[in-house]
Structures are given as C-alpha cells and as structure tokens.
Structure 1
Amino acid sequence: MAASVIDRFRELVVDESDPFYFDHPLDHVPGMLLFSGLLELAVRADELRSRGRRPGRVVAGLGFTRFCELRTATALSCTPVPGPNRAWTVAARQSGEEVCAGSIAFADDAPAAPDGSRGAAAPTPSRQAPAELVHRHRPENVLVGEPVRRGRGVVEAAVLEPPAGPEPPPPFRGPVELVEAGRQFATILEHQEHGRPMDVTLLWVALRLDIPYRLDRDVPLLLRWPTARVSGSRSHCAVTLADAATGADLGSLTYEAQAVDPEQYARTRAR
C-alpha cells in the first residue's frame, strides 16, 4: 500500500469540558491527551497496514519538547516506518513547531508473561490514593491505590477500577488507562519517596512504554517500582506492570518529567 494512503494527518480535538483529560483547569494541552490522540491516529493507520489485525501489544517512545498551547491548532501526523513491521513515526505540531514526537509500534500478539516470575503477589490494599497526591481533583479519576512498601526495595500500588458511571466501562483496559495509572503512581512516588513539595508541577519530558494493548478487567493489576534515588529537578520513574494474582510481569512504563515550583512555572510560561 502506498505511503500516501497509509500516512495519516488530523487536528487534535481539544475539549476543555472533558472530565478526564481536563480534570481541573489547565493552561496547556495535557500530555495524556497528546498521547491519546497520537495513539488513536496510529491505531487507525495500522488497521490499513495490517489488514485489520488487532494489536496485541504496543511499544512507544515519545518526547515532549515544548508546551502545547490550548488556543493554537495542533496537527497530528503518523508515518509508517519502512520495512515489514507495524511501527510508526508520530508527531504533534503547532505552527510548524514540534511539541511532541516519537514512535509507536504494535505487535500481533502479546507475549506470554514469565510463569510465576515472582511467585504469587501478596494482596494489595485497594483503598484509593488521595486525589491531591496524583494531581487530580475528581476522585473518579484516581486510578491507583495507596502505595505499599514490600520489603526494603520495592513499592507497589494496585491499579483500581474507575467508579461506576452512567455508562459501563469497556470490558478491557486500554493503553490510555494504563499509562494514566502509571503516571499517577509515578506522581505519588515523587512526593512520598523523593520529597517533592505538593505545589510542584511535573512537566512531561519523555514517556516510554511496552504494555499489552488490551487487558481484561478481571485481571488484577499492580504497579511495582524498585526504589531508586533521584537527584535534581529532573525525575525518572520506571515501573513494572504486573499481574497481582501471579506476580508475573506484563509490561513496563517509564516517565521522565521536569519538576518546577510555582515561581519557576510562571517564569517558564512567560517566555
């Protein structure tokens, strides 16, 4: 199929009334919405290239280079990587300048997790983490439980079901839900493990993931982080997505962010 047919371009839809992406007022387009828009574009393009085969796994790496402004149109692009693969180069641009760019690739099947890689996991408490710790205002958008320390070197948190709403959730968890759960876990760690003040803003610098494209909701999930000291204003958090019933590793999520206080944030936005 010709590249001109597979290439995809569209404008990002920014709905500031959306209760998930705009959980609270923002002065920029959130990184989660950029990721969601680029993923959706790549999935649609991949349906043509793979003749409708549903992805089993998604592997992505994105860099966030500048603020994505609310009042400026954001153009999304998706171009196939040459060769026998299901990989795509993606980018988001405003006024010709990249605000986010990277790659998204799909695999036909999710590889089997190692059998009992860590043995059965201990039950993880499911009490919801405080909304302020995950930088959310709406309790219904909190997707992780309170973290629990396992031994000396591991912190874990359960991935929670969103509260029941007017519409039932899909029977599976998708990449956006899993990435947001991981972001919330990483945010909690910044405050509780690394001592970041509560008024700090975490500006995404990079996102990397290797996770199943879909996971049945009846699979209990947890996020696992091996403790590691972080110095400076740049944060780096690599977590494992695991089956809470067996302890088997299912995938990985890595977040890099710049931590700025209110004064630094104001200076950055004034540039």
Structure 2
Amino acid sequence: MGPIMEGGRMAASVIERFRELVVDESDPFYFDHPLDHVPGMLLFSGTLDLAVRADSARSRGRRAGRVVAGLDFTRFCELDRGTTLSCRPVPGRNRAWTVAARQGAKEVCAGTIAFTDDTSPSPAPPAAPAAIPPSRHAPADLVHRHRPENILVGEPVRRGRGVVEAAVLRPPGRERDAWTPVEIVEAGRQFATLLEHSEHGRPMDARLLWVSLRLDVPFRLAGSVPLLLRWPVARVPGPRSRCTATLADASTGADLGSLAYEAYAVDPERYERTRSS
C-alpha cells in the first residue's frame, strides 16, 4: 500500500522528511464506503510508510523486527484540503521518529513511531495451546465495513467468562504474503468496533471517532502464522471507549504483541453537530 507521494522537501537528509498525503477516494480499502473525512487508517499508513523510509536510511539497512507506535488524532482531517506528513528523528541512539499530519497550520494527528532491530528470538512457549476460532467473517455492520473483502476479523468467540477472541483474516489473494502492520492495526480496529456493539451495547448507528492508537507488534510476520486477537472482558469507566487487545499466534497461543484504541462514541445527531461546529 502506498498512500503517499514525494513532496518538494523529501530529497533532504534523513534528519527531516515531508510528504503530501495522497487521498484517493476510489481506494477500495481506505474508502470502503463514502466518508466525509480522511480516515484514521490512511493517516496511520501514511505516517508509518514515511517513518519506514526514513528509518531505512538512518539504520543503514538493518531490518526492523518490531514497530512500537503511539498516535493521537486531535481533529478531523478534511477531504478538501491538502495534508502534509512530517517525520523527524528522536535524538539519541534509537530508531524512533516523531511524526505528524497537518492541514495548513493545524495538526490533525501526531505521535511517535519506533522500530527495533530484527533479532529473531525464539518465542516463549505458551502456558496452554489456544483453540483457533472459526474463520467466518464477522458481520459487516458490526465492524463498520461494507466490502466483504475488507472484513479482517472473524466472528468473536467467548472463552469462558473472561476472554473474547477473534481470528485475524487475510484479504483475498494475500494468503501467502507476510502480515503487515497496517493489516494488523485495521483488524484490531475492527475488533474494537465489534466489541463496542456486541459487548458494550452501543447502538448500530453510533459513530466511533478515533482519539488514540497504541501498538507494539511484529513489523513483518510470516503469512503462514495464524493470528487471533484476544480481549479480556473489561469495561474501563469514563466517556471514552477503550479497548486493549493482545495479538497472538492462534496455533500456539503465544503472545505476539498488543494493540490499544481509544475513541468517542457519538450518535448521528451529535456527529452532525460536531462536523458543523
């Protein structure tokens, strides 16, 4: 996926990089259905790609093993304005980058993206093997997707009283390809959305407005590894929706990473008021 194009200052050193975000409303993945704003997944994908390219030069070809990121979404990213992405190195001996997306003088998304060297450690054995959940797609309305090929999680399965799990699914034609962070993050977003409706009773017409994203996942994972998302049944009190899920190897139960999402859930009337203010 390549959602960004070269900007006028991209030829500068790795100390500072800029790009203009390409927003293609005909893209079947990012614009699965009509939207009145640039989706958060496109902002994440664009800033990640910019950081990957900058890090490749700075790290002198060392392969990335994991990606650790934290992004905050501070305002709507509008479709009728240009969006500039920036990437600057965090001082010190690290592979960390400060990233941001701006429209004019206003910041719409900002945070950090860091990479670790690929040391390929052997995963610790799990306490008990996990059963692989059914791979039937989750209902489209529960994950806010329209195209069946864009549904990246299976139907949820409750394991006892304390855990809900869902398989991570592959888009058609990508069964043999490596898992990408974008696929994993989108699967986690769908899982969190599904839980808001199925576990927390949100109305089906509720809109979930991203506030923050946190992740620690493998940067590139073999496509042969079956994945699942695991959520300990819990509801964090407060006005925001919060979901923290574990990414696991479905065949062994071994933990592979974590994903955390925060959003505001609003009804259609409040959404329209928010957009018109």
| TM-score interval, smaller chain | over 0.9
Give the counterpart of 1:65 among 70, 74, 81: 74
Q: Which residue of 2 aligns with 1:199?
A: 205
Q: 1:113·1:249 contact (CA, 8 Å) conserved in 2? A: no
Aligned with 2:50 (options 41, 46, 65): 41
Which amino acid in structure 2 is aligned with residue 54 of structure 1? R
* AA of the residue aligned to 2:206: V
Match of 1:131 among 121, 136, 140: 140
One-letter amino acid of the structure 1 residue matched with residue 197 of structure 2? H
Is structure 2 residue 214 aligned with structure 1 residue 208? yes
Q: What residue in structure 1 maps to residue 92 of structure 2?
A: 83
User: How far has the Cα of 1:119 moved from its partner?
Assistant: 1.6
Q: Could you say what secondary structure the match of 2:189 adopts? A: helix
User: Which residue identity does 1:187 align to in structure 2?
Assistant: T
Describe the SS at the equivalent of 1:267. helix
| 3-state SS of 1:6 partner | coil
- Give, in angstroms, the shift of residue 95 of structure 1: 1.1
Following TM superposition, by how much is the alpha carbon of 1:169 offset from its aligned partner in structure 2, in angstroms?
A: 6.1
Residue 239 of structure 1 is matched in structure 2 by 245
**Structure 1 CA distance for aligned equivalents of residues 153 and 41 of structure 2:** 16
Q: Which amino acid aligns with 1:21?
A: Y
Distance in 1 (CA, whole Å) between partners of 2:132 and 2:49 is 34
Partner amino acid, structure 1, of 2:261:
Y
* Aligned equivalents of 1:109, 1:18: Cα separation in 2: 32
Q: 2: distance between equivalents of 1:159 and 1:116?
A: 21
Equivalent position SS for 1:103 = strand
Aligned-pair distance for 1:170?
6.4
Out of 108, 132, 140, the residue aligned to residue 117 of structure 2 is 108
* In structure 1, C-alpha distance between the alignment counterparts of 2:68 and 2:122, rounded to whole Å: 16
Match of 1:248 in 2: 254
Q: SS at the partner of 1:173? A: coil
**TM-score normalised over the length of structure 1:** 0.95
One of 223, 231, 234 as aligned partner of 1:228: 234
Q: 3-state SS of the aligned residue for 2:81?
A: coil
Query: Is the CA contact (8 Å cut-off) linking 1:242 and 1:250 kept in structure 2?
Result: yes
Q: Give the distance between the partners of 1:85 and 1:6, measured in 2 at CA.
A: 13
Aligned residues: 266
Counterpart of 1:267?
Answer: 273
Residue type of the partner of 2:22?
Answer: V
Q: Which runs of 4+ in 1 moved over 4 A?
A: none
CA shift in 2, pair 1:170/1:93, >3 Å: farther
SS of the residue 2:129 aligns to:
coil
SS in 1 for 2:64: coil
For the structure 1 residues 122 and 255, does the alpha-carbon distance in structure 2 shift closer, same or farther, using more than 3 Å as the test? Answer: same
Indicate whether 1:30 and 2:39 are aligned. Answer: yes
Which of 155, 161, 172 does residue 163 from structure 1 map onto? 172
- Cα distance in 2 between the residues matched to 1:203 and 1:118: 36
Q: Deviations over 1:150-180 (max 9, x none)?
A: 011000000012123xxx5662011000000
Gap runs ≥5 in structure 2: 1-11
SS at match of 1:216: coil
The counterpart of 1:14, out of the listed 4, 19, 23, is 23
TM-score (norm 2): 0.93
Seen in structure 2, the aligned counterparts of structure 1 residues 113 and 96 have a Cα distance that, compared at 3 Å, is farther
Q: Which AA in structure 2 matches 1:26?
A: L
Q: Percent identity?
A: 75
Cα RMSD of the aligned pairs, angstroms, is: 1.4
Structure 1 residue corresponding to 2:193, chosen from 187, 206, 224: 187
Match in the other structure for 1:122: 131
Superposed CA deviations along residues 180-234 of structure 1, whole A, max 9, x for unmatched, are 0000000000000000000001000000000000111110100000010244441
Deviations 1:75-121 (A, max 9, x none): 10000001110000000001111100000000012664652223211
